[in-house]
Copies of this chain bind each other. A is one copy, B any other.
Amino acid sequence: MPNSRLQMLLRGQNLLGYRHYQDEVVHRFVIKSAENGMDVFRVFDALNDPRNLERAMRSVQDAKDVNPNVHAQGTICYTISPVHTVEGYVKIAGQLLDMGAESIALKDMAALLQPQPAYDIIRGIKEAYGEKTQISVHCHSTTGVTMVSLQKAIEAGADVVDTSISSLSLGPGHNPTESLVAMLEGTEFTTDLDFDELIKIRDHFAKIRPKYAEFESKTLVDTDIFQAQIPGGMLSNMESQLKAQGAGDRIKEVMEEVAKVKAVAGHPPLVTPSSQIVGTQAVFNVLFGPYKRLTGEFADLMLGYYGASLGERDPEVIKIAEEQFKKPLITDRPANHLPPEWDDLKAATEKLPGNDGSEEDVLTYAMFPAVAPGFFETRSEGPKSVAKTEAQLQAEADAKAGAVTGPITYKVSLGGREHSVKVEPA
């Protein structure tokens, strides 16, 4: 795709992983990505802590030396809480611009962005930093309301909005592209997308999607997140945790507890990983009593190892975390506390069978330490796919229709005598 810019999502100091990486790893990852063709870096931090974005944003600027198309996009994660305000989001946008962001993304991973705040935040950013400030709006569809938020964002001056072709859209995915084109028809924002070309893309992915059906969410619309601030996926996670403890009937208590834990932690947006951290602690609180047992991750969140939340964290629970985990509270940038790790990662990678000695392989291992060894070892076999084949889909359809699709051995009793009978398709 020589004429298409490639874009990636980069979790700031977390890169593609769930932990903070030391600055050298962050820098090398960004430069290598740009060298290999990555153009637009959408950089975010789950807590919107600008200190977790600094290093990555600087590296993206540096990457322009190896790829002139590189674009640094600073990202705001959207959430709803008593401490999150339109003014606050506008302020974050300013911090990102100061950091060298060439555009701003408003990222609404939980589909919480309602039309009015969508309008107000975009307008606020444009008015504070100039109408030419480029803004992308990224909403998921989960709550069934964000298509309207895109409309209001566009009315407020948003420059880019993210959608999916309809055959891959809706539910926890994005809003459908073709519907957005229809939405804007007759307005001053009419798109010039070619509908016939969109239809081709739609039909292509309509054929692909069934092959990945087992990975699909069954959620079509879920507004619970507005009430309980718990996304559907998180809710079902917590339900299985509770059931495993024989406390499946206490989900309502846990849902109420989540709101309390979120407040104690200073109202972090509930996104991976903060959603899991807060949710699991809420389960622990209900099962064992409030903060009797902390998870290591929740202690780290309270002690500043994920960065600063927008709200104040509860000093008493910070004290409990210090005591339970014998770790000090930190208030500076979390990555300041990380020792150099590149040489260790390199050494570890070079011991793995099948590694090709490249910096890319070290980075792959750093990002995915559990998956990389198997990947290196079997790389020579060529690409693998988790998609079902046409033949598998056909077999499933046959099975659903009641046909025997493979050999089945039955034990059949006939006139008092037991036989072993094998049935298979002719």
Give me the interface of A with B, judged by CB distance under 8 Å: 114-117, 143-145, 147-148, 151-152, 166, 169-170, 175-176, 178-183, 185-187, 195, 199, 220-224, 226-227, 399-400, 402, 410, 412, 414, 419, 421, 423
Contact = CB atoms under 8 A, between A and B. Distances in A.
A419 B417 CA distance: 13
Contacts of A145: 147, 179-180, 182-183
B227 A195 contact: yes
27 contacts: A114-B186, A115-B151, A115-B187, A116-B187, A144-B147, A144-B166, A144-B170, A144-B175, A144-B176, A144-B178, A145-B147, A145-B183, A148-B148, A148-B183, A166-B220, A166-B221, A178-B221, A178-B223, A178-B226, A181-B223, A195-B227, A220-B220, A410-B423, A412-B421, A412-B423, A414-B419, A414-B421
A169 B182 CA distance: 21
A374 to B, nearest CB: 31
Contacts of A117: 186
Contacts of A423: 410, 412
A114 B183 contact: yes
Nearest to A224: B199
A208 B312 CA distance: 45
Contacts of A186: 114, 116-117
Please name the 3 residue pairs, one residue from A and one from B, whose CB atoms are nearest each other, closest first. A144-B179, A116-B186, A178-B223
A130 to B, nearest CB: 26
A286 to B, nearest CB: 21
